[in-house]
Structure 1
Amino acid sequence: MTRLFLLRVSILLLWFTSPAWAQLPTRLPNFPQGGNRTGGQPTTTGGSGASAGGAILDDSTKLIYGPKTTRFFLESDVLNNRKALITIDTTLEGVHRTSYIDRYDNLYTDLGNLGTALRSVFYQTPAIGSQTGLSAYGLYGYQTQNIRYFDTRSPYTNMYLVLGGRGQNIVNFDFTQNISERWNLGFNLQRMTSDVQFGGTTAVSSGTQRLAENWNFVVHSNYRSKNGKYTLLAHYNNLNHRSLDQGGVIEPDSGTSNAANPDLELRPVLSTANSREIRNDLHLYHQYVLDTAFQLYNIVDFRAQSYRFTDTDITDNLLPPDSSNLSRKPFYPRYYFDNLETRQTTLFRLLENQIGIKGQFSARGSAFNYRAWLRNRYYSLENRFNIGRLVPDSSYKSSRLETFVGGWLGYYFPDSLTRVTAEVEYLLGRDFRLQGRLESRLLTAGYESVFASPTLLQNRYTSNIYQWDHEGRLATRFDLRGTQHAYGQLNLKLGKLILSPGMDYYLLTNYIYFDTAAVPQQLSSAFSILQTSLSWQFRAGRFTMAGQGYYTLVSNDDVLRIPTLLANARFEYNFLLFKKLYVLAGVQFHYKSAYYADQYMPVTQQYHLQNETKLGDYIMAEPYANLRINRVRLFLKLAHANQGLLDQTYYSAPYFRTINRSFSFGVHWLLFD
């Protein structure tokens, strides 16, 4: 066992120290539709029995460990008194979905390359309480609610390598092992990098200039007492993300000197800008069961977040606009103190402590669950800029103690497939959240009402480039943002066809947006969003067809831009080669209708309105093949395969091209002993 572990560590060190692998990242993706889904058993696409990774007995009655002997759970399972453990997924569906855009069904968009700033395509209900508003890189790290806690009968290793083409690389290495029957310890390691694609002949031709790089490390542990009354879950999460900020690319003139490869003539708007975000989170959950109907729990979080933006030469991007020459258009709207450079740092610290009671009752096949809590949050924020540049009033600090009270109720019907839940939480003197939800075999429906404070960045910000204050005595204060959201979805099975039509309706009040100058504004009038959706899946023998479509109408698209139509589709066929090699081959498509997508401002890490460039109205096609032999899964994918076929250029954000056609290869290897 020790030799095997040392071998795995040696392989990992070789990957990170070898020049070929030195650019790679690390973390098993959380695929929404397979690949690494939280649950599921091997299907016909992945074989069965020993070849599918299941635990069996060989002729000498020696136990062969596999996915069924390595199981995990989430913190929400313990919090909601769900006993079931989840087995490791070994299916082939979704293995090729390695990019973060792919993993979230194209419901997020970036700046065209791995590791660049993310934003949601659709409206998202805000969280209550004080939030930083700096979230463009958050999804590149492990999420607290998705941290897996294991119970293993043998050491478990998960190794994942993606060579994404054009300098996009991912490496994940996870290891966990039970120290004793009731105590498990493990870690997750992620390394992710991408190279500059557009923006200067030297950078593109050499392929050595790094655009983004990411390190993410998690160490996790769980323990339960011998009598099962006490449970402890804990993890430490560190994210370190760095990115060059190009501000977009400037298109070459029609008379470019390199007509054979005009991409080499593209140059970035910003040439000396970069940003870096570091997050640290120490998380603790523990509970004690006095009785099934009365349990005590406590959740403690200490979080630290820092965001730094630096541009050491802002002179060229402060020139007055010149409509005859795009290269003369300024990126920064103004400067307040320093016309040579800008340096911005935001530091955020949060200590949160939640104590509560919970329990469950059962009667005549039905069950009742409850939870009540008191939550205290203390945060401190420091914002400073151009320190050492003789700038007056170059920093400010703020802090606040927030107290929340909340409750949750759940009723589970005897059929075990139908449940009703309700939740309410109130920040004393300010924010409020109310949610209700019905889930059954046929219907999922719910309603939520949220009144949330502006983010800290929306309320106040001071820098060399931007300054606003909506907290001072003489300032125009922002009101609570209101969201009323009603939704419903049917789940219909018609033979081999599964249809899930749905509808969402939002009514927004006091909506805060960033205008074309990248400055926050609040809309006093209310407006609405109506969204209809349809998910489908059709299986016939070895053939599968699946996808989702969304049709969205916004009553005020002057402040919120969403594509009217967004659709994904995939067509797959699975078969067996040489009696050992399972293959799932297919092609996936993505489409967004044309709309004025938001533009990115790296100084504040915010997307904002723009009225100059329409994006979308373009279909992206990507063929792929997922393969598995024994416990090793592989994939081959041609990303953006139809690039240039209709003489169109695809932009993922204004002035940011999506990466050109590229070939991706990946290996996912599970070891259970």
Structure 2
Amino acid sequence: MKYFNFLIFFLVLGLCKTNAQEVENTKVVKDTTLVISKDAKSNKKKDKEFSIEDYKIISYQRDTTTFDTTLTIYKEYKYNYLRKDDFELLPFANVGQTYNILGAETTQKGFYPRMGEEAKYNNYMEVEDISYYRVPTPTTELFYKTVMEQGQILDAMITLNTSPRLNMSIAYKGMRSLGKYQHILSSTGNFRFTTNYQTKNGKYQLRAHYASQDILNEENGGLAVPEQFTSGDDEFIDRSRIDVKFDDAENFLLGKRYFLDHQYYLFKEQDSLKNYGLAIGHQLNYETKTYEFRQDAANAYFGEAYQAADLNDRAKFKSFNNQLNLNYRSKIVGDVTFLVNFYKYNYYFNSVVVTPNQTITNQLRDNEISVGGKWKKQIGGFFLNADFTQNIVGDMGGTVLNAQMGYQLTNDISVDASLHASSRMPNYNFLLYQSDYKNYNWQYTDTFEKQKISTLQGTATHKKWGSLSVAYTIRDKYAYFEEQLMEGDSVSVEDDVQLVSPIQFGGSINSMKVKFSNDLHFLRRWGLANTIMYQNVSQSENILNVPDIVTRNTLYYSNHLFKKALYLQVGVTAKYFTEYYMNSYSPVLGELLIQDREEIGGFPLFDLFINAKVRRTRIYLKAEHFNTIFTSEYNYYSAPNNPYRDFIVRFGVVWNFFS
């Protein structure tokens, strides 16, 4: 497979030349759906027509998009458990497990530390992930997909406007998958309720949501005898026969959130004699989280334990954020917001742990205050965005600066540049953690410092030839969990011990990420979608580990059939990444761990798909990792001792109803 990247390169080069000779350029697919609805207020029951553009989706940033019932190659990339493009992620064997990292992050999540257990958050919907709606008729979206074994994924949403000014929506995403290996069941649920309202004169606007989410994973510690997997022995093709390290553990994350965001315009531009508007706003966010690791009996794989049976680690976190803001808007200055945040947190356990070296407390609790501002302005073809927040009371928060500038050079070409700089303390489970396993207890509140990250990024986009982005990132005081795996002379579970240490690197880690993506069309009905990412990390130790090259290339055919009653899309996707020190995984912490003993990668992942669209229904059929049918080398892993998925055929649909 060492020639794989070269083959892809020459294939792309040749097809680019073919595309350049085509008379018909790539066209942007636009949804032209018309919704026919009965007028409930009319005795004659006249039909009403609504454009699909009347059905609005409003993001947390107040950007507006519409429901999209088209079928494109990018819809294929997003048709997965996360419902987003997972190019920079590598899933574990079962749906609903965690993902390993193929792309280095260029920003820091959250202004304040997060609870931790980051490997559990891939499917956790944050405030920024919740959408609001405005629709002329009741609207429903159903997402369904099969899983690995005994279960399914279903994401159902219904939204309606009781009046043009009041919208409500309710949604639930549920998933259950038994998995192919022993004791690897996954079960998750994401419930959301949203509402948004504005008065008749538009001066008062409100939006709110409630979210309740639970993520349960049975844990088996990975392969106890890796040779059973790598040998390709017929006895172990049935993966349930492979021995795992244990079969009595699980971890669980539960989160509940109440969010309110409302504002009142003292006066608006359109209803005043002045050329500016002024509004006051308030935002409230209250969230509780519980993380548990449960195991029936202590296992020597995690070292010594305080008790022999019924282990139960439980961490709890409560956060309460109040934000007051003042917004000023004018044609000359732009959109300016001044804000102040009052933040209260409580991260705690139910016990105090005394070790030979220290006494570990059971709580981190305090209040924080920060101030900041936002600015947005459009000047001709330029757009300018900036926001800045500075913590002034408390030790956990730090500074965040985001700045972005973009320019539309031509109708086809746009460029933009952005800067991100932030600092804050590491997540709470770096600073304090308690467990029934002795080696998983620590407190570093006095030794860890604020970690910093700075990223400069530039992007150039051409509607026909694709987009190219380059990001350069500097990390200081980077915090990570290091795996210390002690191996014995035999393959028995008792001789392997996974110890974990939270560490803060004192130096700097510099990285560069170059990412190119395009969708080329040739011979009218054929397409080639490419995403290629190159990464280079400069560091004195193997801490931030990512592959040098990650590629994804999709060759596909699209056509209308049966007098355009059906739109068909057939293709094959190849994904590949070079070998690197892939992160390990800790079931106790729910975290990815740094390791530098074993390089993993260098194997291709081929998927064959057949997608179809009938009216507003998109149908998906995929043969995942089908090249394993022809292989004799079982060397594909998602993490050390955690194999990647075998060949499987999965089916699903996305269905929109506009009543």
Where on the TM-score scale, by shorter chain, does this alignment land: which range? 0.7 to 0.9
Is 1:134 the counterpart of 2:113 in the alignment? no
Alignment of 1:418-429 (within 5 A): 418-428=382-392
Rounded Cα–Cα distance in structure 1 between residues aligned with 2:134 and 2:82: 31
Compute the displacement of 1:359 (Å). Answer: 2.5
**1:17 maps to which residue?**
none
- Bigger CA drift: 528-537 or 271-280? 528-537
Mapped partners of 1:405, 1:60: distance in 2:
55
Q: Which moved more, 1:119-128 or 1:150-159?
A: 119-128
Q: Hey, what does 2:543 align to over in structure 1?
A: 559
Q: CA deviation at 1:283?
A: 0.5
2:349 to 340, 359, 383: 383
Aligned to 1:326: none
Change (3 A) 1:312 1:235: same
Separation (CA, whole Å) in 2 of partners of 1:560 and 1:183: 47
The equivalent position to 1:354 in structure 2, one of 323, 326, 333, is 323
- Change over 3 Å in CA distance of 1:243–1:671 after alignment to 2: same
Measure, in 2, the Cα distance between the counterparts of 1:66 and 1:447: 38
Q: 2:66 aligns with which of 61, 83, 87?
A: 87
- Contact 1:385-1:394 at 8 Å conserved across structures: no
Partner of 2:490: none
Q: Is the 8 A contact 2:148 2:179 kept in 1?
A: no
Separation in structure 1 between the aligned mates of residue 633 and residue 267 of structure 2, nearest angstrom: 65
Q: Flag the 1:45–1:211 CA change in 2: closer, same or farther, 3 A.
A: farther
Q: Counterparts of 1:563 and 1:308 in 2: how far apart (Å)?
A: 32
User: 8 Å contact 1:157–1:173 — kept in the other structure?
Assistant: yes
Q: Take 2:31 and 2:214, find their aligned partners in 1: how far apart are those partners? A: 40
CA separation in 2, counterparts of 1:143 and 1:128? Answer: 13
Of 402, 425, 437, which residue of structure 1 is paired with 2:368? 402
Structure 1 residues 102 and 185: CA distance shift in structure 2, 3 A: closer
Contact 1:69/1:154 (8 A) holds in 2:
no
What CA distance in whole angstroms lies between the structure 2 residues aligned with 1:564 and 1:340? 44
1:243 corresponds, among 217, 223, 228, to 217
- Distance, in Å, in 2 between the alignment partners of 1:170 and 1:60 is 38
Q: Does 1:414 align with 2:385?
A: no
1:311 and 2:295 equivalent? yes
Please report how far the alpha carbon of residue 433 of structure 1 lies from its aligned counterpart in structure 2 after TM superposition: 1.4
- Which deviates more from structure 2 when the two are superposed, residues 565-574 or residues 222-231? 565-574
Decide whether the 8 Å contact of 1:112 with 1:659 is kept in 2. yes
Counterpart pick for 2:509 among 524, 527, 537:
527
Q: Give the aligned partner of residue 480 of structure 1.
A: 450
Aligned partner of 1:577 in structure 2 is 561
- Name which of 181, 198, 205 aligns with 1:231: 205
> What TM-score comes out, normalization by structure 2 length?
0.83
Who is 2:470 aligned against? Answer: 503
Q: CA deviation at 1:646?
A: 3.3
1:121 matched residue in structure 2:
102
Cα offsets for 1:513-539 (capped at 9, x unmatched): 111232111111222112222122212
Q: 2:90 aligns with which of 88, 92, 109?
A: 109
On the 8 A contact 2:334/2:376 being kept in 1, the answer is yes
Q: Which amino acid aligns with 2:367?
A: L
Distance 1:168 1:249 in 2: 23
Q: Report deviation, 1:261.
A: 3.0
1:153 counterpart = 2:136: yes
How far, CA to CA, are the matches of 1:425 and 1:257 in structure 2?
58
Distance 1:591 1:386, change over 3 A: farther
CA distance in 2, matches of 1:95, 1:653: 27
For 1:560 and 1:197, the matched residues in 2 are separated by 31
Cα pair 1:385 1:464 within 8 Å, conserved: no
Residue deviations 1:569-625 (CA, integer Å, cap 9, x gap): 222221111111111222222111111111111211111122333221111111112
CA apart distance, 1:68: 3.4
Q: Does 1:374 align with 2:340?
A: yes
- Show structure 2 runs of 5+ residues with no match: 1-25, 269-276, 409-413, 485-499
Deviation string, structure 1 residues 172-228 (Cα, Å, up to 9, x no partner): 1111111122111110111111113123xxxxxxxxx66101111111111100100
SS of 1:75's equivalent?
coil
Shift of 1:54: 4.6
Asked if structure 1 preserves the Cα contact closer than 8 Å seen for 2:31 and 2:68, the reply is no
1:61 Cα offset (Å) = 5.6
Q: How many residues align?
A: 583
Which residue of structure 1 aligns with residue 654 of structure 2? 668
CA distance 1:53–1:212, shift in 2 (3 Å): farther
Question: Partners of 2:462 and 2:170 in 1: how far apart?
Answer: 40
Contact 2:81–2:153 at 8 Å: present in 1 too?
Answer: no
CA separation of 1:386/1:603 partners in 2, compared to 1, >3 Å: closer, same or farther? farther
Residues 1:130 and 1:612: Cα distance change in structure 2 (over 3 Å): closer
Which moved further from structure 2: 593-602 or 335-344? 335-344
Q: Secondary structure at the match of 1:348?
A: strand
- 1:166 Cα offset (Å): 3.3
